[in-house]
């Protein structure tokens, strides 16, 4: 059965590093960051960012559905911060006959800050700068997976 892997975690938790490993093993990796920066640049008002991100995610889902139907394993390198969002993708994947694997990157806040500070000093293409204030906001919006979501923990 074709697999859709969802990577759940905050910025700096290691999702992209893990996604690249899965890509090396034959999965196709899709990252909203890889599309957002080339299409729209690094800086935009939050409401504009959210609108554009919604469009990118919909386009990526349309591509993902086609790939899954064709038998290609896909890893979505995104945050999947809420239970509702994760459930939405589970339903979508089931509709195209794919199973879902949820990987949860559970990294303490102090380690996220350290990693993001390092990343911010050496931004690569497709990467957004994330300061402490942004991370603090993101932490308030993040819902860790519950036991019934059957997430595999990564550290």
CATH number of the domain within which 81 lies: 3.40.50.300
Terminal alpha carbon distance of the chain:
27
- Assess whether pLDDT exceeds 90 at residue 82: yes
How does residue 13 score in pLDDT terms, banded at 50, 70 and 90? very high
- pLDDT score for 61: 98
Residues 51-67, mean pLDDT to the nearest whole number:
97
- Assess whether pLDDT exceeds 90 at residue 20: yes
- pLDDT score for 114: 96
Average pLDDT, the chain: 95
- Domain residue limits at 48: 3-154
Residues 82-110, mean pLDDT to the nearest whole number:
98
- Assess whether pLDDT exceeds 80 at residue 155: no
- pLDDT score for 41: 85
- pLDDT score for 145: 98
* Total tally of structural domains belonging to the chain: 1
pLDDT tens digits, 98-149:
999 999 999 999 999 999 999 999 888 778 889 999 999 999 999 999 999 9
């Amino acid at each position: 059965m074709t697999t859709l892997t969802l990577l759940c975690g905050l910025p700096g938790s290691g999702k992209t590093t893990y996604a690249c490993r899965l890509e090396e093993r034959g999965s196709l990796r899709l990252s909203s960051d890889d599309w957002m920066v080339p299409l729209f640049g690094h800086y935009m008002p939050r409401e504009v960012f959210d609108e554009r991100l919604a469009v990118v995610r919909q386009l990526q889902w349309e591509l993902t559905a086609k790939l899954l139907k064709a038998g290609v394993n896909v890893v979505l390198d995104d945050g999947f911060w809420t239970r509702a969002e994760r459930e939405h993708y589970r339903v979508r994947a089931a509709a195209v006959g794919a199973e879902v694997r949820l990987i949860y990157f559970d990294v303490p806040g102090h380690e996220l800050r350290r990693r993001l500070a390092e990343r911010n000093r050496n931004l690569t293409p497709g990467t957004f700068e994330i300061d402490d204030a942004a991370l603090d906001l993101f932490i308030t919006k993040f819902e860790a997976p519950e036991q019934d979501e059957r997430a595999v923990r990564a550290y």
